[in-house]
Amino acid sequence: MPGRVLVLFAHPCPESFSAALHACVVETLTEAGWEVDDCDLNAEGFQPVLTEAERRGYHDVGDNIAPVRTYVERLRAADALVMVFPVWNFGYPAILKGFLDRVFLPGVSFRLEDGKVKPNLTHIRRLAAVTTYGGTRMRALLAGDPPRHCVKRAVWHVCRPFKMRYLALYDMNRATDAQRATFLKKVRTEMAAF
């Protein structure tokens, strides 16, 4: 039974293919019965920079959420998380990296117990990433494919979802209309069954 899904979108241009993927994700999840919390980080003006004061108070559980309270509340209310973003320079766009730095805090996404990270977002039972890479899969592999590993290891670890999907269109710089349409269809199919 669908619940509430937080969709994190990280691309500044509404005419981008990432924006088309975002629209497909939101529309399909809505049609499938999910209550969608659509968080367009750029449109909302999310500030990605972890300030000096925030870093100094990073481990002050409780007080550390004050600057990003509304985002923490949205994350805590979610049963599922879908991240839609392009891969730039083999990493997340800065705004998405900043979201993870500022919102995935001690006491929010994880607990520190005897110096070990323990998952704290275990209410998020489904996790997905929908992304594009300018380069080929081989180029990404040669660079270590950090975004894939961050989602499938770090974000996965703090959630421990029972369902995980990482949907990537590689070689976007040379993708044809047909390849983009095929990927959109794949995303729609995956989100309908999410």
* Rg value, the chain, Cα: 16
Query: Looking at residue 69, what is its pLDDT?
Result: 97
pTM: predicted TM-score of the whole model, two decimal places: 0.95
Distances (CA, A) of 118 to 57, 105, 178: 20, 12, 43
* CATH hierarchy code of domain 4-192: 3.40.50.360
Q: Can you state the angle between helices 69-76 and 94-103, rounded to 10 degrees? A: 80
Query: Looking at residue 118, what is its pLDDT?
Result: 95
Query: Looking at residue 115, what is its pLDDT?
Result: 86
Cα 32 to its chain centre, rounded Å, is 20
Q: Which residues of the chain have pLDDT under 70?
A: none
Is residue 150 helix, strand or coil?
helix
* DSSP 8-state assignment for residue 66: G
Report residue 104 as tokens: 């995935």
